[in-house]
Amino acid sequence: MIAPLNDLPAALTEAVSQYEASGNIGALMERLHRLREGIMPDALVAAAEAFLHMPEVAGPLYERVVEEQPTNARALVILANAYWLSGRGPDVVGALASRALASDPDNRGAWHLWALTEGNQRDRTIRWLQVSQRFPTDSLAKAALADNAASLAASEHDREALAMAIGAYEELWALSPTEQQRAALETALTTLRNYSF
C-alpha cells in the first residue's frame, strides 16, 4: 500500500522499493502518476532529489514540474536527461535543452544536452567546441570535444579536426590530477599524433 500523500518522500520510497523488488515498470508509472497529481512542483522537486539517478522515476515527476514551471531551466535539464537515459531520442531531448537554454543561457547541463543531441558528427563537434569555449574549465565538455573531433578526423580524414582533437587532449592532459589519467591521455595523443591519412 502507498503511504499517504501528505508524506510524499515516504510514498516515493515505497513505490521505488516495490518497483526494485518486482521490476514492474507499469506499476511504478501508475503509482508515480497518481502520486504527482495535485502536488506542488517544489514538493515534487524536493521529494525527487533522492531519485534523480533513476530516469524512470525522475522523468514522470519532472514532467509534472515542467508542466507547472515551463521556464524552470533546471527542471527542463533534469527531464531532458531522464528522457535521454531512457531512450526518448535526440529530438525530444534537444527541444527540452533548447528551452532550458532560452530560460537560462548559463545552464551548463542544458549546453551539454544541446551538444549531445546533435546527430551530424561535424555539427556535434562544433557544438562541443562552443560548449568548451563557453566553459573553459569544463573537463567533460573538453573530453567530448576531443572524442568527437578524433572521430570526425578518422571518418572524414579531416586534418583540422585532428588538430582540434590533439589540442583538446593536450589541455585535458595538463588538467589531469592523476598519473593514470595522464597515461591514458598520452596513449590517445600518441595515436593521434602518429595518425596518417
Q: What's the pTM?
A: 0.88
Using 70 as the pLDDT threshold, list the residues of the chain that sit under it.
Answer: 1-6
- pLDDT per residue as tens digits for the range 19-56: 999 999 999 999 999 999 989 999 999 999 999 999 99
Q: Which three cell numbers stand for residue 164?
A: 582540434
CB environment 167-181: b (16+ within 10 A), e (fewer): ebbebbbeebeeeee
**Orientation of helix 41-48 relative to helix 55-68, angle to 10°:** 160
Q: Which three cell numbers stand for residue 52?
A: 534523480
